[in-house]
Amino acid sequence: MAINLVGPFESLIIPSSTGRPVMSKFDLIKESFLGNLGERIPISLWKHHPEQDRTPEGLAKAEIDFHRLLDHDLMKISFFGHFPCIDFGCTATYDGEVTGSTTLTNAAINNASDWETLEPLDVNAGELGKQIRAVELIQKYAEGVVPTMATVFDSAMVADKISDKSFNKYADEHPEILKGALDIITDVMIDFARATIDAGADGIFLASQHSTQSSVTNSQYKEFVYPYDLEIIKNLRGKAKFIVLHLHAREENEEIRFDKIANTPGVDGINWEDQSSSLSLKQGKKRFRGAVLGGIDHNGVFRTESPEQAEKQVLEAIDKAGLERLIITPGCVITIDTPQENIVSVRNAVRSIDPYDYE
């Protein structure tokens, strides 16, 4: 499939209204992570691209087209929802999920002994290799245009997916076997993340689904989640230009284990469902020295109400959070049924803010 590498649609770009030279997206994101106020509030938008995302060419075209349309400031490359699982022996399909993610149809781990069959993977081959190829194709467009970050799942998330959501069970019943498997998975995800950076990605978006009080117990988090997250971060922080963590909340008003991960060296930004969890962006800023990413109610107003209501919601979120160390993003993936006019309206509203003349 041929990919057209023409730049963003000029008609959708909001020019600077200040008369100052427009900062590059690279400088804007860098300054935001450093805690400095840029000439505008950066915005990043991401979603899954079901069916298209199962080939490198399809994913690259979908991500490039999405960026051409919106010209956002940081491109998160969203691989399909079970991308690390296939090479371990799983199968998955898209069955219409509104998030655009896939559904597991065959698990690699069905009993404790299956964990012991896991072997290291060549990340440049198989399904993982296809994602790296997609990064290479995307970088032909993104280089010099927009910084990119490749999505990487943490070890607990991969283990949970390949065992059909039985991570907690194996942590309780077969802890040593699970630890051995997590060591293998961790090495694979480090190798994969490094390969995406070698392919051109600027940063890493490390996603965790086990950072909340309801997902794992404190002892499970301490023993089976955080040490492996730390190992991934330690091995990438000297290679990636930046690392953003996504702390996924499964339920409304969930309590996130924010403080421990927020004090981890090498973390430049943290993204979470701030509009539905118990932790606001303002509170997150007080507990973390890097940038916070959020502000868009991706499952609420943004998805279901008018462009004017979506715009009002995000402007109120910005006002409450404050402008410094802020990148406007969804708390998780934008659903595939979100009206395009809402996305464009929110992008325009954020771009209209002059941080140096903000009331």
The per-residue pLDDT for range 295-323, each reduced to its tens digit, is 999 999 999 999 999 999 999 999 999 99
Confidence category of residue 4, pLDDT binned at 50, 70, 90: very low
Query: Rounded to the nearest 10 degrees, how much is the dihedral formed by the CA atoms of 169, 170, 176, 179?
Result: -110
Give the Å distances, CA to CA, from 190 to 100, 123, 252: 25, 10, 31
For residue 216, what are the domain limits? 25-357
pTM of the model: 0.93
Question: Which residue in this structure is represented by tokens 């698990």?
Answer: 107
**In which band, very low, low, confident or very high, does the pLDDT at 243 lie, cut at 50, 70 and 90?**
very high
- Section 346-354 average pLDDT: 96
CATH code: domain of residue 351 = 3.20.20.210
CB 52 within 8 A of CB 58: yes
Q: Is residue 340 part of a domain?
A: yes
Q: Note whether 350 and 328 are within 8 A (CB).
A: yes
Which helix (H) or strand (E) segment holds residue 320: the answer is helix 307-321
Q: Which amino acid is at 352?
A: S
Q: Name the 3-class secondary structure at 174.
A: coil
Do residues 166 and 109 touch, judged by C-beta distance below 8 A?
Answer: yes
Residue 2 is assigned to a structural domain of this protein? no
Residue 9 in domain: no
| Residue labelled with tokens 């803010």 | 353
Mean pLDDT of the region 341-355 = 97
Q: Is residue 179 in some structural domain?
A: yes
| Residue at 203 is within a domain | yes
Q: How many domains does the chain have?
A: 1
In a domain, 77, yes or no: yes
Answer whether residue 241 is part of any domain: yes
**Residue 139 counted as domain residue:** yes
E strand intervals along 166-213: 203-208
Are 44 and 38 in contact, with CB atoms under 8 Å apart? Answer: no
pLDDT at 355: 93
pLDDT level of residue 9 (50, 70, 90 thresholds) = very low
